[in-house]
DNA sequence: CTGTTAGCGCGTTCAC
DNA sequence: GTGAACGCGCTAACAG
């Protein structure tokens, strides 16, 4: 039923090899022949079968993308960066949600390899031994986006989360705060969870303030947890005068908890978030946040992957993208 | 290099057909033989080549998804619904962003058909003749999600946008409002843009209030436009006492415009949004909104597509999912 | 229950 | 420049 390369060959009065050459842009075809072939293709509405091509050429121009949750404000932005660059290099994306469940992640890696993807882009929190094994047991190149394995065995694109946590905290210290609370992410998450917290801790210690356990709460990256944890902070005998949340959703929850208790942000308590998702512009006061360039991370990761897929030379396997703080109204102008 | 079905056959001392049967769960295999084959598979680390399988079987267990923008809060939720159900039925998703540009949409349809997807899920605004032609020129089943073509030529899953607009407006009328403004979506969007507005108009007419042009502004579904358009409303000699925005982002922009001018929501002006994205819970006051079940639309659309792909009988090609209004603090409790 | 045999649609030598 | 022939790895009859 569907028209194949043979049909085109017959219609054009040439061999299928010639049709293949035309379709693939091989220059060794007489212009006149090329023209005849193209006409035949047009006439028959020929559409090359990418599966057959993939089998013959061992390339599918498809990359697998494993992402925790595409409906997340954070990851969907990343995915967009990935897809844009993929499109630019003529790749398509098979998108899979893992929900960060290891069993599912491993199974997805396997499924994607079965589908003969040319490359793999992996997002998630912790990279365990099992991941490494699954990912390195194949010759399919893999890049980690917004994650890193402890030994840098795999190429990755991230920001320096420790420094980001440090900088956010330092910004608050610079504003004269001594009681700076932090709502962390899950400590099982080595970068967004642990490293940001470590940065916070180090900044406090460097400033001679030191860590105060009662000002640290473990959140789960969701709005609700920012709200709840902050309410608890406010019940303290001496509540914090500033809050650093490990992501923006929780920071917004913090703002609302503060406002609900009748206090003002930033006059009474300053708040700073992390990631700079689009949401930060859509609250009052608008949220000061550490910019993690999600789109760029996705884009750079995908670009890096194309290099591996083309066997190009790569100088730096571990890419650290710059971060910075975007100041808005949830913090006061810096003290002189 | 990679181990094939032949290698497994040799290792297990059977024919490749038998290996194929074992891999595909064909029951016509003696238990002992099956065991030997599975052992060989395990020993060799055999991983079936889905591309070869696809070529031979003419099924790829992959569906193409064309979406305007995966980074949108609205569409990413839809995508999650799609992917979850796809996974449930053992399909993978090739995800493509169209940005609603027709040229790109048509090109994507073509690319996905080249990749021999078993089905197509299309999201976008307007379905033109060219779309219909591209989509119906193939035997690959297609389902529209959160969109519909004018003639219902294609299967689709949506809500009743006209009724949704009507209901939202009616809710405001029931609260005693006479000056109800609307920030619409682009009128080129037949459902979210036009139909919601038509519902609004009809409700006003039915109530004997009638349409007041100065209370209608065309937005673009972004926060910023909700903010801007509402500021203009507030400059009117007689500003509106209620605002209905065609989506939540714009509604939140409206709330902020109102608050920035020193007025209170809902005391001075009531606001109602549309879609009920996760954001509505993350603003103060929390936003009353028409619930459009994005996740369900995606899930139902994908489920519908699986039926077509399996040649199952489908009773209803045009699915309308129910909508309702979720009341929160941006509207006042209903008048008795 | 199992093996043999054709293709699936195309890329790719290798001759002409 | 162009064509013939082989093979990519697997499924699907068809025998037996």
> What pLDDT, in 10s, does the model give residues A303-328?
999 999 999 999 999 999 999 999 99
Asked if the Cβ–Cβ distance from B49 to A116 is below 8 Å, we say yes
- pLDDT value for A335: 57
Asked if the Cβ–Cβ distance from B70 to A72 is below 8 Å, we say no
H-helix or E-strand spanning residue B79: helix B73-88
Q: Which residues pair with B245 in a beta bridge?
A: B183
Cis peptide before B266 (omega within 30 of 0): yes
pLDDT of A85 strictly over 70: yes
Nucleotides of C under 7 A from a protein CB: 1-5, 7-13
Tokens coding A274: 């992390």
Task: State the residue for tokens 């939720």.
Answer: B77
Tokens coding A300: 């750079």
pLDDT of A333 strictly over 90: no
pLDDT tens for each residue of A278-302: 999 999 999 999 999 999 999 999 9
Cβ(A214)–Cβ(A182) under 8 Å? no
Q: Which of A263, A268, A258 has the alpha carbon at shortest distance from A227?
A: A258
- pLDDT value for B335: 57
Q: Which residues pair with A244 in a beta bridge?
A: A182, A272
What does the alpha-carbon distance between residue B233 and residue B219 come to, in Å, rounded to a whole number? 13
**Averaged confidence pLDDT in chain A:** 96
pLDDT-derived band at A185 (thresholds 50, 70, 90) equals very high
Cβ(A249)–Cβ(A192) under 8 Å? no
Chain B residues with CB under 8 Å of A83 CB are 70, 95-97
Segments of chain B with pLDDT less than 50:
336
Average pLDDT over residues A258-271: 97
Q: In the complex, which nucleotide's C1' lies nearest to the CA atom of residue B18?
A: C2
The dihedral formed by the CA atoms of A206, A212, A215 and A218, expressed in degrees to the nearest 10: 90
The sheet that has B180-184: what strands, in order across it? B216-218, B180-184, B242-245, B270-275, B288-291, B324-326
pLDDT of A5 strictly over 80: yes
Using a CB–CB cutoff of 8 Å, tell me whether A261 touches chain B.
Answer: no
C-alpha angle B147-A98-A55 in degrees, rounded to nearest 5: 80
Lowest average pLDDT, out of A28-32, A174-178, A197-201, A291-295, goes to: A28-32
Cβ(A276)–Cβ(A324) under 8 Å? no
Asked if the Cβ–Cβ distance from B47 to A114 is below 8 Å, we say yes
pLDDT of A92 strictly over 90: yes
C-alpha angle A278-A188-A159 in degrees, rounded to nearest 5: 45
Q: Which of B50, B76, B284 sits opposite A114 (nearest CB)?
A: B50
Residue B274 in 3-state DSSP?
A: strand
Q: Which of B33, B51, B35, B31 has the alpha carbon at shortest distance from B43?
A: B35
What is the reported pTM? 0.95
Asked if the Cβ–Cβ distance from A116 to B50 is below 8 Å, we say yes
Cβ(B110)–Cβ(B134) under 8 Å? yes
The answer for residues whose C-beta is within 8 angstroms of residue B14's C-beta and 6 or more apart is B33, B36, B37
Interface of A with B in 137-166 (CB under 8 A): 137, 139
Asked if the Cβ–Cβ distance from B283 to A283 is below 8 Å, we say yes
Asked if the Cβ–Cβ distance from B73 to A73 is below 8 Å, we say yes
Task: Output Rg (C-alpha) for chain B, integer angstroms.
Answer: 26
CA dist A306 → A85, A140, A303 (Å): 9, 12, 5
- Closest residue (Cα, C1') to C8: B56
pLDDT above 90: percentage of residues in chain A:
96
Using a CB–CB cutoff of 8 Å, tell me whether B4 touches chain A.
Answer: no
Using a CB–CB cutoff of 8 Å, tell me whether B308 touches chain A.
Answer: no
C-alpha angle B174-B177-B181 in degrees, rounded to nearest 5: 115
The answer for residues whose C-beta is within 8 angstroms of residue A333's C-beta and 6 or more apart is none
Q: What are phi and psi of B126, to 5 degrees?
A: -85, 135
Nearest CA in chain A to B286: A256
Q: Measured in angstroms, what separates residue A14's CA from nucleotide D3's C1'?
A: 8
What does the alpha-carbon distance between residue B248 and residue B330 come to, in Å, rounded to a whole number? 12
pLDDT tens for each residue of A100-125: 999 999 999 999 999 999 999 999 99
Cβ(B60)–Cβ(B38) under 8 Å? no
pLDDT of A162 strictly over 60: yes
CA dist B327 → A64, B168, B281, B288, B333 (Å): 41, 11, 11, 5, 8
Q: Measured in angstroms, what separates residue B119's CA from nucleotide C8's C1'?
A: 19
The answer for residues whose C-beta is within 8 angstroms of residue A53's C-beta and 6 or more apart is none
Nearest CA in chain A to B258: A284
Return left, alpha or beta for B210; rule: phi > 0 is left, psi -120 to 50 is alpha, else beta: left
A222 touches strand C (CB under 7 A): no
CA dist B307 → A51, B25, B57, B118, B134 (Å): 23, 22, 19, 12, 21
Q: Measured in angstroms, what separates residue A19's CA from nucleotide D14's C1'?
A: 34
Tokens coding B53: 């399988």
Using a CB–CB cutoff of 8 Å, tell me whether A98 touches chain B.
Answer: no
Helices H / strands E in chain A, number of each: 12, 12
Average pLDDT over residues A3-21: 93
Task: State which protein residues have CB closer than 7 Å to strand D.
Answer: A 13-18, 21, 28-30, 32-34, 52, 55-56, 58; B 2, 4-6, 16-17, 20, 23-24, 46, 48-49, 52-53, 55-57
pLDDT of A336 strictly over 60: no
The answer for residues whose C-beta is within 8 angstroms of residue A303's C-beta and 6 or more apart is A85, A89
pLDDT-derived band at A143 (thresholds 50, 70, 90) equals very high
Give the pairing type, strands B92-97 and B142-145: unpaired
Task: State the residue for tokens 């305007």.
Answer: B68
Question: Number of A:B CB contacts under 8 A?
Answer: 128
- pLDDT value for B333: 84
């Amino acid at each position: 039923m569907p028209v194949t390369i043979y049909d085109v060959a017959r219609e054009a009065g040439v061999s299928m090899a010639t049709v293949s050459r035309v379709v693939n842009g091989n220059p060794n075809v007489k212009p006149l022949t090329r023209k005849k072939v193209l006409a035949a293709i047009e006439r028959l509405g020929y559409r090359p079968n990418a599966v057959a091509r993939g089998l013959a050429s061992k390339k599918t121009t498809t990359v697998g993308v494993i992402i925790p949750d595409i409906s997340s404000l954070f990851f969907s932005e990343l995915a967009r960066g990935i897809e844009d660059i993929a499109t630019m290099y003529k790749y398509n994306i098979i998108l899979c949600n893992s929900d960060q469940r290891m069993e599912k992640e491993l199974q997805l890696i396997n499924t994607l390899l079965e589908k003969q993807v040319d490359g793999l882009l992996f997002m998630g929190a912790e990279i365990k031994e099992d991941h490494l094994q699954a990912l390195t047991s194949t010759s399919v190149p893999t890049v980690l986006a917004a994650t890193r394995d402890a030994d840098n065995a795999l190429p990755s694109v991230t920001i320096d989360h420790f420094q980001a946590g440090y900088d956010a905290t330092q910004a608050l210290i610079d504003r004269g705060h001594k009681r700076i609370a932090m709502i962390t992410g899950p400590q099982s998450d080595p970068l967004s969870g642990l490293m940001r917290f470590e940065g916070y801790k180090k900044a406090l210690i460097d400033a001679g303030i030191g860590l105060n356990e009662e000002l640290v709460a473990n959140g789960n990256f969701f709005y609700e947890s920012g709200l709840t944890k902050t309410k608890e902070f406010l019940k303290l005998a001496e509540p914090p005068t500033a809050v650093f949340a490990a992501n923006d959703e929780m920071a917004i929850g913090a703002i609302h908890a503060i406002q609900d208790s009748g206090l003002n942000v930033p006059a009474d308590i300053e708040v700073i978030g992390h990631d700079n998702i689009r949401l930060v512009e859509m609250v009052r006061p608008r949220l000061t946040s550490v910019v993690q360039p999600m789109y760029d991370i996705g884009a750079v990761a995908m670009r890096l992957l194309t290099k591996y897929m083309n066997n190009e030379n790569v100088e730096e396997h571990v890419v650290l993208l710059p971060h910075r703080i975007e100041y808005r109204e949830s913090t006061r102008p810096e003290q002189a």
